[in-house]
Amino acid sequence: MNRGGMGNMQKMMKQMQKMQKDMEKAQEELALKTVEGTVAGGMVTVTVNGQKEVLSVTIKEEVVDPEDIDMLQDLVLAATNDALKKMDDLTSDTMGQFTKGMNLPGMF
């Protein structure tokens, strides 16, 4: 058996273990991050964390009109989706450094 092949395999395994540890650390750091989604010029702001949990919803007083509750609900929905998209983008950017173009479906 070619000894060089075994050495390369061990080196590759060590690199994979390091990459896995780095990915776990990055996921832990992402879990601590927050992003805000805003709509209507900041009238509605939604904050989510890296685990995609909604942490807060802020609505400016000017928006609240009992007769326009449908519009308010739409603004909250849009701000929530904006915040979740931003967290997806942040997660992709952060974790993408590990995959560098590899297609790993279901990984993130």
Q: Is residue 11 part of a domain?
A: yes
C-beta atoms surrounding 48 within 10 Å: 23
Q: Is residue 15 part of a domain?
A: yes
Per-residue HEC secondary structure of 11-29 comes to HHHHHHHHHHHHHHHHHHH
Residue 44: give its domain's CATH number.
Answer: 3.30.1310.10
Question: What percent of the chain is modeled with pLDDT above 70?
Answer: 86
Q: Which residues contact 84 (CB under 8 A, 6 or more apart)?
A: 37, 48, 52
Chain-centre distance for alpha carbon 49: 8
Indicate the Cα dihedral angle 21, 32, 86, 25, nearest 10°.
-10
- Label residue 23 by pLDDT band (50, 70, 90): confident
Give the pLDDT confidence score for residue 3 in this predicted structure: 58
Q: Is residue 104 part of a domain?
A: no
> Mean of the pLDDT values across residues 50-58?
87
> Mean of the pLDDT values across residues 75-91?
87
Domain span at residue 15 reads 3-99
- Label residue 40 by pLDDT band (50, 70, 90): confident
